[in-house]
Amino acid sequence: MVRPTRGYRVFQVVNGFVLAGVVVVTLFPFVNIVARSFSGEHEIRSGQVTLWPKGFNLTTYQNVMSDPLFWINYRNTVVYTVVATAISLVLTTCYAYVLSKHRLRGRALLVGVAVFTMFFNGGLIPNYVLVSSLELRNTLWAIVLPNAINVFNLLVMKAFFESLPTELEEAASVDGLGTYGILARIVLPLSKAVLATMLLFYAVQFWNSWFAGFLYMDRQELFPVTVYLRNLIAGATSGTDITASSETALQVAASIQAVTIVLTMLPIMLVYPFIQRYFVSGVMLGAVKG
Amino acid sequence: MVQLTRRHLLTAFGAAAVTTVAGCGDGEESTEGLDGKRAGAMDGFKAGDQFKATEPITFSIMMLSNQGYPYKADWPFFAELTKRTNVTLESTAVPGSDYNQKRSVMVSAGDAPMIIPKTYHPDEEAFIASGAVIPVSDYIDLMPHYKEKVARWNLQPNLDGFKAQDGKYYLLPGLHENTWQDYSLGVRTDVMEKLGLSQPQTWDDLTTVLREMKKAHPDLYPLSDRWSTPPQPGANNLLNILATSYGTHAGWGYRPAHWDAAAGKFVFSGAMDEYRQILQYLNTLVTEKLIDPESFTQTDDIARQKFANGKSFVISANAQTLVNELRKDIAKIPGAKVSKLILPTGPAGATLPGESRLENGIMISKKALESKNFVAMMQFIDWLWYSDGGLMFSKWGIEGQTYSGKVDDGSFTLDPGVKWGGLNPDAPKDLQVDYGFFNGVFAYGGSTAMLNSQFSEEEKTFQAEMNKREIRPVDPPAPLNDVEREQVTLWASALKDHVNQQTLRFILGQRPLSEWDAYVKELEGKNSTQYMDIQNKAYERYKKEHG
């Protein structure tokens, strides 16, 4: 075994400290918001809560969780995220797989179509008119379809597929597998890392998204929970307008805000540990190989 | 391959262009006659009448969902409304946090509901050019209650200020009988009592009070303010109420143009001597360490924390924040009391600006004008938003169920089983959350008696004092045309940025006030003079064309 040099050990120590610092900075807001969610309103307002709850109570949790609208919106978010992620994953995989085949005619055009949308789009109002005239408004499809393919994710996946050795597919083809057979039985089983990553990317994206829900949904019981949350937090601070009657200038209790944030971020945070092992090998690893 | 890509690009551009064109509304002219639009309307509808459609009708409405009382379709408000008026409201629920954006998208896409409430002047101006909203001033003959209140409370000059260049206005604002000055400063009265200080009458008296507080507590800043959210200069309420007392515009109430009645022309607010006096006043407070310099940058939460921990004694407040925030915040300081200061007076004397007598209001989408129920809709709006009966209903609900008595003779009382604001805090049901009354979409404006019904005794005393003040006349109308508006918008933002920046620098002493003249020169370099020339030209033109 090679003994690490002195310089390397110094680096390791410094690195450890720097990364520990990053961990603290990253974790602090989470810990703080969790502490707030268990604290009394007065303690939060007077700035006493940092890492540990003061004036511990669970009534705020009871209050928030007893609001039926919160759960309706929560369920919507789960449904939207699951359906949208499934659709996105299927579409992105198919598109990326096709694009990874150099023998495909018109491949540059197909890449162009995708990349074009990265830089140009019709804008807010034309999009709204489009979704509206397709009668997708107030349906699940308004949220899951318009952003089904994320071009960045598509390109990452394409690069990953390109990095797979072509010999594998040729061998499968010799053994009698067709295009779909190769994709389903050879390529996809080898692509678990990138699929898991895409799953995470899409799930987080759809879980956090609020704008599509806000824009295309006209009824409260259709909103995702992010819209509920946003109204609770942003609505409270933007109401301070001189012409607004003073009731709108009131802030929603800080503890309620904290509880809602905690409940909203919890499930999506729990997804990470399950997918993390695929991250270790790394999605970009595939992108640079070969 | 290259060609293919180019062709593809063209197709894509073409498709985008088609979509964009489809997005713009058709420029059809509205027809004048209202025949065929009277379905469901009442014949001879006049002030004092209860509106009831002659057949069941449905109107679509944009419904702001307030974070404090989220919209519910099954609120008793809607059921009772249908019972009384035969009208069903079909709501598009929009979260209050982003109401303006959704409104803008829906109106621009030609997809807006018929009734678009909760719009603050001059937001409606953005929708005039496209023809998406109708000039409501053409149809006020259908609205007897509205007309009657405008005449009785002498609000026509205020409405004139809402007019576009065509001499029409596009927003039906909420009407107040009197100016409602809600915002002031909240002061720890127990500290004042302990120091033997009396209620300050003028801003200079307030300085004295702050000095005494500082003398007794040299380690803290007596005044630490809130409402400093950007992009305004900070301490936006403080600047605004100071501007009210000095007769100019600053903070929240900042407007570039100020009507100088004596000179008969508009002058640039940020260059007025009154504006300089405000800066001078605040600069003195900063120099003597009477006001926390962080007042202009800190978040509301921090400002409230300082007040809650007894590290400051004075903070901006309105009736609601006083009761629901400040009193709760200081509850743990023994003996601490806070109340709203009667707004101190300045060089403008015991007066208040008249502009705030118009509230946010309603736009009517063009789609509504095409409906056969248009007349009925205007009558319905007239009843619900402008008749005493309608206002009473949307505000306090159903007599004998949620309230009893009358507001005019002061016999009004909220039912003990219903809570609102600070009233009946332990009641099982909430007037807003559970019933849908006192909703900001419907309940605003009205007579002083109506307004007083929502106040605590303490606030009534405050308002009684405020109502003694004389109301200043409002600015004459000077609507700009599209070209002018575009031109001044360009100048206005650069000017506003400069005014805001320098305001803060002057106040904090980073720039000496002796450089005021240089500052005014800088504003002129940013076209403040040309701006006012255009404004004054528009004023002259309007005066000539519309009397």
Which pLDDT belongs to residue A260?
A: 86
The reply to whether residue A227 touches residue B95, judged by beta carbons under 8 angstroms, is yes
Q: Are B454 and B395 in contact (CB under 8 A)?
A: yes
Which pLDDT belongs to residue B35?
A: 84
Residue A41 pLDDT class (50, 70, 90 cuts) = confident
The reply to whether residue B324 touches residue A250, judged by beta carbons under 8 angstroms, is yes
Å between B395 CA and nearest CA of chain A: 13
Delimit the domains of chain B by residue range.
37-179+358-388, 190-353+469-547, 393-468
Q: Answer whether residue B411 shows pLDDT above 50.
A: yes
Q: Round to whole Å and give the CA distance between B263 and B476.
A: 13
Q: Are B496 and B250 in contact (CB under 8 A)?
A: no
Structure tokens given for B158: 């205020």
What's the whole-number mean pLDDT along residues B220-229? Answer: 91
Which pLDDT belongs to residue A261?
A: 87
> pTM value?
0.81
User: CA torsion, points A265, A270, A276, A278, in degrees to nearest 10?
Assistant: -100
Cβ count near A261 (within 10 Å) = 19
Q: Round to whole Å and give the CA distance between B256 and B250.
A: 9
Q: Answer whether residue B436 shows pLDDT above 90.
A: yes
The reply to whether residue B66 touches residue A46, judged by beta carbons under 8 angstroms, is no
| CATH code of domain B37-179+358-388 | 3.40.190.10
Please report residues of B whose CB lies closer than 8 A to that of A228.
95
pLDDT tens per residue across span B321-380 = 888 789 988 988 999 999 999 999 999 999 998 888 898 899 999 999 999 999 999 999
Which pLDDT belongs to residue A49?
A: 83
- Count how many pairs of residues, chain A against chain B, have C-beta atoms within 8 Å: 160
Q: Are B129 and B25 in contact (CB under 8 A)?
A: no
Closest Cα in chain B to A124: B105
Q: Round to whole Å and give the CA distance between B186 and A21.
A: 42
Which pLDDT belongs to residue B14?
A: 45
Residue A62 included in any domain: no
Q: Are B421 and B320 in contact (CB under 8 A)?
A: yes
Determine contact: A254 vs chain B, CB below 8 A.
Answer: yes
Contacts with B, A 88-127, CB within 8 Å: 106, 108-109, 112-113, 116, 120, 122-126
What's the whole-number mean pLDDT along residues B385-397? Answer: 94
Using alpha carbons, list the distances in angstroms from residue B78 to B73, B83, B84, B344, B526.
7, 9, 10, 43, 52
If asked whether residues A213 and A92 sit together in one domain, one would say yes
Phi/psi at B247 (5° precision): 80, 45
Please report residues of A whose CB lies closer than 8 A to that of B356.
243
Å between B4 CA and nearest CA of chain A: 7
Kindly state the percentage of chain B with pLDDT values over 70: 94
What's the whole-number mean pLDDT along residues A238-262? Answer: 58
Q: Round to whole Å and give the CA distance between B440 and B405.
A: 23
What's the whole-number mean pLDDT along residues B302-319? Answer: 93
Closest Cα in chain A to B355: A243
Q: Round to whole Å and give the CA distance between B131 and B112.
A: 13
Residue A281 pLDDT class (50, 70, 90 cuts) = low
Which pLDDT belongs to residue A47?
A: 77
Q: Are B86 and B349 in contact (CB under 8 A)?
A: no
If asked whether residues A50 and A106 sit together in one domain, one would say no
Provide the domain limits for residue A6: 1-57
In terms of Cα–Cα distance, which of B343, B340, B339, B363 is closest to B353? B343
For every residue of A163-204, DSSP letters joined together read HS-HHHHHHHHHTT--HHHIIIIIIHHHTHHHHHHHHHHHHH
Residue A143 CA, chain-centre distance (Å), reads: 14
Q: Answer whether residue B232 shows pLDDT above 80.
A: no
Q: Answer whether residue A55 shows pLDDT above 50.
A: yes
Please report residues of B whose CB lies closer than 8 A to that of A220.
65, 70-72, 93
What's the whole-number mean pLDDT along residues B156-182? Answer: 91
Cβ count near A280 (within 10 Å) = 8
Peptide bond between residue B231 and the one before it cis (omega within 30 degrees of 0)? yes
| CATH code of domain B190-353+469-547 | 3.40.190.10
If asked whether residues A48 and A101 sit together in one domain, one would say no
User: CA torsion, points B423, B429, B430, B436, in degrees to nearest 10?
Assistant: -140
- CATH number of the domain encompassing residue A118: 1.10.3720.10
Q: Residue A190: exposed, middle, or buried by beta-carbon count in 10 A (0-12, 13-18, 19+)?
A: middle
Domain tally for chain A?
2
Determine contact: A251 vs chain B, CB below 8 A.
Answer: yes
Q: Answer whether residue B49 shows pLDDT above 80.
A: yes
Which pLDDT belongs to residue B7?
A: 47
If asked whether residues A40 and A134 sit together in one domain, one would say no
Bridging pattern class, strands B115-119 and B265-268: unpaired
Contacts with B, A 35-94, CB within 8 Å: 41-42, 45-47, 69
- Say yes or no: do domains B37-179+358-388 and B190-353+469-547 share a fold: yes
Peptide bond between residue B113 and the one before it cis (omega within 30 degrees of 0)? no
Which pLDDT belongs to residue B203?
A: 96
Cβ count near B313 (within 10 Å) = 28
pLDDT tens per residue across span A146-167 = 889 999 999 999 999 998 888 8
Residue B31 pLDDT class (50, 70, 90 cuts) = very low
Q: Where are the beta strands (DSSP E) in B66-216?
A: 87-95, 115-119, 172-175, 184-188
The reply to whether residue A42 touches residue B318, judged by beta carbons under 8 angstroms, is no
What's the whole-number mean pLDDT along residues B447-465? Answer: 88
Closest Cα in chain A to B302: A47
Residue B538 pLDDT class (50, 70, 90 cuts) = very high
In terms of Cα–Cα distance, which of B288, B301, B312, B289 is closest to B185? B312
If asked whether residues A25 and A108 sit together in one domain, one would say no
Which pLDDT belongs to residue B355?
A: 84
* Arithmetic mean of pLDDT over chain B: 89
Q: Answer whether residue B2 shows pLDDT above 90.
A: no
Q: Are B252 and B232 in contact (CB under 8 A)?
A: yes
Q: Round to whole Å and give the CA distance between B136 and B116.
A: 12
* Arithmetic mean of pLDDT over chain A: 84
Residue in B97, B320, B444 closest to A230 by CB: B97
The reply to whether residue B20 touches residue A123, judged by beta carbons under 8 angstroms, is yes
The reply to whether residue B65 touches residue A246, judged by beta carbons under 8 angstroms, is no
What's the whole-number mean pLDDT along residues B59-63? Answer: 95
Which pLDDT belongs to residue A1?
A: 59
Residue in A126, A232, A233 closest to B20 by CB: A126
The reply to whether residue B20 touches residue A46, judged by beta carbons under 8 angstroms, is no
What's the whole-number mean pLDDT along residues B259-281? Answer: 95
Please report residues of A whose CB lies closer than 8 A to that of B320.
246-247, 249-250
Which pLDDT belongs to residue A252?
A: 62
ipTM comes to 0.78
Weakest-pLDDT range from A226-235, A239-248, B239-248, B351-360: A239-248
Closest Cα in chain A to B102: A215
Which of B7, B98, B227 best tests the A interface by mutation, with the highest count of A CBs <10 A?
A: B98
Closest Cα in chain B to A253: B325
Residue B11 pLDDT class (50, 70, 90 cuts) = very low
Å between A141 CA and nearest CA of chain B: 19
Which pLDDT belongs to residue B300?
A: 86
Residue in B12, B73, B421 closest to A116 by CB: B12
What's the whole-number mean pLDDT along residues B60-67? Answer: 90
SS3 content of chain A, % helix, strand, coil (to 5): 75, 0, 25
Which of B1, B90, B97, B224 best tests the A interface by mutation, with the highest count of A CBs <10 A?
A: B97
What's the whole-number mean pLDDT along residues B384-393? Answer: 94
Boundary (domain end) residue, out of A57, A77, A98: A57
Cβ count near A94 (within 10 Å) = 12
Residue A217 pLDDT class (50, 70, 90 cuts) = very high
Residue A4 pLDDT class (50, 70, 90 cuts) = confident
Max mean pLDDT among A273-282, B8-17, B459-468 falls in: B459-468
Q: Are B136 and B164 in contact (CB under 8 A)?
A: no
Q: Answer whether residue B231 shows pLDDT above 70.
A: no
